[in-house]
Structure 1
């Protein structure tokens, strides 16, 4: 196929808009429709589902979506590629076949497996997790589509592999086509989070026609270049800004490692080609790494939480009193006990809520008896014997299990990437023969000499700078970008690692890496350990770091007066 292939995406996470699949199929021409249902936290949720019932472990919402959309997809000859199989792609494929029979729809269904390493975890040096899933590439998907599959369901592949598999099948790519694959990786990264590419979570959202946002489409050409767009008459917009924001989401250094190619993000060139059309070109690819990343989730114990409200005067003294009383009264000290006081109060407040602060106490322990009802009851027993105005935000609870995430790595040759075709024939996909030890990106703390920018004014950084942030296991990233070359030069000289730590005191004692992406007019900061042991374990105010970039934008700095609002 020499013409660009239109690949839409209808899901950015497990819980995204249920009607999006039908909207994308009904809204205009597509060749393929993808859906991303998996995240690190989702794998833990599915793992707990599987512990309760071995027949579960896949995204049930996709099956519900197919009840109303399977026939439409077949009628319009749109191939569907999703990772909704989660921990049980075979189970989802069986359920889809049953649904197709019920609907009397002739659908050829294939599934990709082999990512689930949990039974072999100890043998592979990965410990004893409840889930252990290798991030597979797109060539299993390609094989299934080449064999005539209408629907391909996978387990844990990289998010971009959904697009890579579809484009590789359409254009006949092989492992040697590193640049083209890298281009598809970048296109897949842009559309994988659905409406984040069309204005969702966008710093300059007031410039976008918000509302019911449309989902994105990547028109991927044979050379790997692409155009990001959306169906006509859908909400939002596709601009250089919205695409840049998504390109910076949850990345690390300039090298974006995938099993089929390593995309060099600092080679990306983007341009506005028309209304809701942004071109991506120039992407170069290197050999993929020898190892596959593995998502590991462990059940770590039981967690419980008590939140008390502190109102009015003497907030700090009230907090100290409750801490001392509560700690002394606990029948057993938990393995971990953490406190966080959020000063949301303001002086001379006009409402009681505005006069109040929150004190959070979180306990973790392997023993449910230690952090269960006795823990909560201890707080309740202090209701009439502690600070004035004592109240809890919720009744006492028994606590709940929590998990921790950590990445692992395993040689790709030890993972059996398997595709079961619609006719039941199962084949193994060999890893890329081009694999090589990866080149590691080097963090650059600052850009060197600083120019004289003339008169300045005190204003929020976000008046001129956009940002997008997100979680990477226990770390987080903040991508900050400028909209003109001059503003990027200033940003590059101004926003050093030390300056980020100064503006965000919560990360002052953590390791922060700084990477430059000048073609995107962007800097990317990776903050190690800010999320503890992952979203399922930490109780940070913003556990997935989604607002971290917006916090940075809100900080007041010395902006050159030449940069008008």
Structure 2
């Protein structure tokens, strides 16, 4: 009798990965909330941003043993036993500049609360000695160091600077047995990781259409990740907010550029992403294609750029423009030696106002210079001396101080094989993580064919936001503004209407800057990258909105002719 052929092996079970932190300062109770809200395999916490690295760098100057996110320890103290009991592994980049230090602190915490855990960490990202003059210089590592730690049995993995998506690609590679050659699968995990990385931004937080759901306390997101790289984005039952194609689209566009989303493990093609509503608070992501990663790793550098001082004059009632001009003229001599002087008149006033505050405008003066004395005593004394000899109603929001140092965030690139990516296990063993074997130099993707334009018809002047959502953010001194619509008909209109020229007309602050438009038809989205709009980056506070968080909302508020058929 011929034996029956063996049954094919069962596919690996889906991996449920949640997020409990999108930034350093996120909701303190989120770790406990995620552990008690439903089933999970892995919890990830993202603490690092360009500004955070600068903050941690200044902490380390004061205390060499510092440099990591201390709030993570406070969160973990309450929830470590619960995570162990439920078999949930924790992966976090809270290690910042000192992942080994945080790993040791977690071990001490575990001993104190009597919870046995194996703690591993990932290192090799710190390239400070290669970049003299930098406060911090850290390469963005991928997920395979995390995967090595998990494969060796780590319960908690602490990293320094990895890509935000690596917190998901690492656990996925460990769970499904992926190799660096599994580009499509890795790309799918990168997309899921990018959706999760900012916490509640995927579940209704900071969402353009926030009035469509109860977003007073959005739940944190999770992804059900499958062996082929596809995923479903959802959240625990009963938590606030919503997960729909719009919220996921918004987060996909956040802080991205073109169709190629490059990382150390893989380059994900955002123009292949397909989103489908898969039920209430469930969005399926599939179709994601991947390519070999670039041969270089991005290095985030921060340094002290000089000193900065600020004063805001309040101009009330009549003759606002003339009052502003008087102050400028009175301070011109005192500011002559400063390297950079910026005046901004913000017209918050309105005629015949019924409160003093709404009758007032704000004149903001920011001064920067390499020397603290230039922005300190010189400006402080000159501004205060005007108190009895300037415009009528003279006062300021707060007296200027002595000037404080400001940071500059920059990017550099190094070959992948020059970075010693290493997994350090709980028992001290060190596992080298090789660089990507296959690499591909990034090139721009050819613009896709646009849909047929809408036929002519009646139009009405109205805000763009009646039709389109937007989300914006920063990357160094640049900003991106992702704009999307929710129907095919609206996409036919948006793709032909919101050109670079029209974008510049709607946002005059971008008129003299380089603006690049990227088209993502599957998402019904356009992504605009505005170079240099943020100066030297968030830490330098070049603009009123230094991280471009509200640039997209400004765009949505601008009026243009909208087809009445779409309204």
Q: 1:544 aligns with which of 543, 547, 558?
A: 547
Cα pair distance change 1:449/1:224, threshold 3 Å? closer
Task: Tell whether 2:460 aligns with 1:460.
Answer: no
How far does residue 334 in structure 1 lie from its aligned partner after superposition? Answer: 1.3
Equivalent-residue separation in structure 1 for 2:66 and 2:273 (angstroms): 40
The question of 1:406 aligning with 2:416 is answered no
Change (3 A) 1:282 1:455: same
The aligned residue for residue 366 of structure 2 is 362
Q: How does 1:13-412 map to 2 (within 5 A)?
A: 13-122=23-132, 128-329=133-334, 333-412=337-416
**Cα separation, partners in 2 of 1:492 and 1:412, compared to 1, 3 Å:** same
Question: Retained in 2: the 8 A contact 1:443–1:514?
Answer: no
Q: Are the equivalent residues in 1 in contact too, given 2:334–2:379 (CA < 8 A)?
A: no
Structure 1 SS opposite 2:60 = helix
Instruction: Tell me the residue number matched to 2:503.
Output: 500
Contact 2:291 2:440 in 1 (8 A): no
Between the aligned partners of 1:25 and 1:380, the Cα distance in structure 2 is: 54
Residue 533 of structure 2 is aligned to residue 530 of structure 1? yes
Is the 1:305–1:363 contact (alpha carbons within 8 Å) kept by the matching residues of 2? Answer: yes
Structure 1's 449 and 279: CA in aligned 2 closer, same or farther, altered over 3 A?
closer
Q: Is the 8 A contact 2:213 2:242 kept in 1?
A: yes
Change (3 A) 1:206 1:341: same
User: Is the Cα contact below 8 Å between 1:290 and 1:438 reproduced in 2?
Assistant: no
Question: How far has the Cα of 1:442 moved from its partner?
Answer: 5.6
Tell me the TM-score normalized by structure 2: 0.97
**Structure 1 spans left out of the alignment, 5+ residues:** 123-127
Q: Supply the distance in 2 between the matched residues of 1:534 and 1:395 (Cα, whole angstroms).
A: 25
Q: 1:169 to 1:379 in 2, by over 3 A?
A: same
SS of match in other structure, 2:57: helix
Separation in 2 of the partners of 1:440 and 1:533? 25
Q: Tell me the C-alpha RMSD between the 2 structures.
A: 1.3
Q: Separation in 1 of the partners of 2:203 and 2:174?
A: 26
The yes-or-no answer on 1:511 pairing with 2:514 is: yes
Deviation at 1:447, TM superposition (A): 5.3
The aligned residue for residue 431 of structure 2 is 427
Per-residue CA deviation, residues 195-230 of structure 1 (Å, 9 max, x unaligned), is 000000100000012221100000000000000000
SS at match of 1:71: helix
What is the aligned counterpart of 1:557 among 555, 560, 564?
560
Instruction: Give yes or no for contact 1:443–1:513 (8 Å, CA) kept in 2.
Output: no
1:3 and 2:13 correspond: yes
DSSP 3-state at the match of 1:222: coil
**In the comparison of the two structures, how many residue pairs are matched?**
557
Counterpart Cα distance in 2 of 1:374 and 1:48: 26
- Relative distance call for 1:441 and 1:533 in structure 2 (3 A) is farther
1:59/1:350 CA distance change after superposition, 3 Å = same
Distance in 2, Cα, partners of 1:252 & 1:137: 19
Post-superposition Cα deviations, 1:324-362, rounded to whole Å, max 9, x if no partner, equal: 1012245x6211111111111111111111111111111
Structure 2: state its 5+ residue gaps. 1-10
Q: Cα distance, 1:439 vs. partner?
A: 2.2
> Which secondary structure does the structure 1 equivalent of 2:540 belong to?
coil
Helix, strand or coil at the partner of 1:536: helix
Task: Please state if 1:487 is matched with 2:497.
Answer: no
Contact map agreement 2:473 2:481 (CA 8 A) in 1: yes
Structure-2 separation of matches of 1:166 and 1:254: 25
Shift of 1:373: 2.7
1:513 partner SS: strand
For 2:56 and 2:18, the matched residues in 1 are separated by 25
Give the conservation status (yes or no) of the 8 Å contact 1:12–1:193. yes
Q: State the 1:539 CA deviation.
A: 3.5
